[in-house]
């Protein structure tokens, strides 16, 4: 089995019910994409988006709690996301690691909860600019993979996204060689640890847009993208889906 191609959109804290029109547009423009398509809207929109998409694109959360229920005001359980139609959940995004001081161990525990709920965990890793400048990128990514990806991960229940922190929302992207270096390392580490690590989908994320998507998708071991800003509008996300379909 080859890794599945996945165009994933992370709406972050953007969007209201009115934004669901973008789904209608995306489905109209790309009725049969040559890749999997996932959108992770704010949690309050997951149910409505899943109903609107009716299985034609996948819908996911942006975080979940490690426990299945309990006294955790404001948190959302993986089973609750699954209950309202989510198939995926983003975990360990750098904004969660920064804003909420999430550790690798917490991301691992959340990933286990996601798997138990039947969700595909989209686990994010990425170095800061200071870490890259210090030559620590490969060590940072190795440590995050080792600490965040649970032992039960498989190609069917886990997707890994490499998102350099300094490339998120900045308009800056790594060179293709830099992306290739990290993706080759991830493939090697995952293949060494998991029986089907060679088949896990590996995404690149950080300032992906229509103009750079094709070049990024031509990079070895890049099986798709996790897209922030350019996933909010069908007019931007559509061409990225088309580029991945053609890759």
Return d(Cα 21, Cα 11) in angstroms, integer. 14
Query: Given 80, 163, 183, 221, which residue is catalytic?
Result: 163
**Which residue's structure tokens are 């996204």?**
161
> Is 85 a binder of ligand 13P (CB under 6 A)?
no
| Residue 217 burial (C-beta neighbours within 10 Å; 0-12, 13-18, 19+) | buried
| Binding track over 1-40 against ligand 13P, x by CB under 6 A | ---------x------------------------------
Q: How far apart are CA 105 and CA 89, in angstroms?
A: 17
Residue 205 as a binder of ligand 13P (CB under 6 A): the answer is yes
Largest interatomic CA distance in the chain: 47
Q: Is 62 in the site for ligand 13P (CB under 6 A)?
A: no
* Residue among 92 and 197 whose Cβ is closer to ligand 13P: 92
Q: Is residue 72 flagged as an active site residue?
A: no
Kindly tell me which of 79 and 243 has the beta carbon lying closer to ligand 13P.
243
Copy the structure tokens of residue 70.
């309990």
Work out how close the CB of 1 gets to ligand 13P at its nearest, in angstroms, rounded to a whole number: 25
Residue of 93, 115, 183, 221 marked active site: 93
* 100: Cβ contacts below 8 Å, ≥ 6 apart: none
CA distance 240 to 104: 30
Does 226 bind ligand 13P (CB under 6 A)? Our answer is yes
Q: Name the residue nearer to ligand 13P (CB basis): 9 or 33.
A: 9
- Which of these segments, 69-77, 185-193, 205-213, 234-242, binds ligand 13P (CB under 6 A)? 205-213
Q: Is residue 163 flagged as an active site residue?
A: yes
| Residue among 229 and 239 whose Cβ is closer to ligand 13P | 229
Would you state the structure tokens that stand for residue 208, as one six-digit string? 């992906």
CA distance 217 to 210: 11
How far apart CA 54 and CA 111 sit, in angstroms, is 25
Q: With binding defined as CB under 6 A, does residue 227 bind ligand 13P?
A: yes
Nearest distance from C-beta of residue 129 to ligand 13P, angstroms: 14
Q: How far is CA 32 from CA 22, 37, 51, in A?
A: 16, 10, 18
Q: Is 239 in the site for ligand 13P (CB under 6 A)?
A: no
- Binding of ligand 13P by 228 (CB under 6 A): yes
98 is an interface residue for ligand 13P by CB under 6 A = no
Q: Is 207 in the site for ligand 13P (CB under 6 A)?
A: yes
| Helix H or strand E encompassing 121 | strand 120-125
Active site residue ranges: 93, 163
């Amino acid at each position: 089995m080859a890794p599945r191609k996945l165009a994933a959109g992370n709406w972050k804290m953007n969007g209201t019910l009115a934004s669901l029109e973008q789904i209608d547009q995306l489905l109209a423009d790309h009725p049969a994409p040559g890749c999997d398509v996932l959108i992770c809207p704010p949690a309050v929109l997951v149910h409505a988006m899943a109903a609107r998409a009716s299985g034609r694109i996948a819908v996911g959360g942006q975080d979940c709690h490690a426990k299945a229920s309990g006294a955790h005001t404001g948190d959302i359980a993986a089973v609750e996301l699954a209950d309202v139609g989510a198939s995926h959940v983003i975990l360990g995004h750098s904004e969660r690691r920064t804003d909420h001081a999430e550790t690798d161990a917490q991301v691992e525990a959340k990933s286990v909860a996601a798997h138990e709920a039947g969700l595909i965990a989209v686990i994010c890793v990425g170095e800061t600019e200071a870490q890259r400048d210090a030559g620590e990128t490969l060590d940072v990514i190795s440590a995050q993979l080792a600490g965040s990806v649970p032992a039960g991960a498989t190609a069917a229940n886990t997707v890994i996204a490499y998102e350099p922190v300094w490339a998120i929302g900045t308009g800056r992207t790594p060179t293709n060689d830099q992306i290739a270096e990290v993706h080759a390392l991830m493939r090697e580490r995952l293949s060494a640890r998991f029986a089907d690590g060679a088949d896990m989908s590996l995404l690149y994320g950080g300032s992906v847009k229509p103009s750079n998507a094709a070049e990024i998708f031509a990079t070895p071991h890049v099986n798709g993208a996790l897209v922030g800003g350019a996933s909010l509008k069908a007019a931007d996300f559509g061409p990225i889906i088309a580029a991945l379909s053609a890759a």
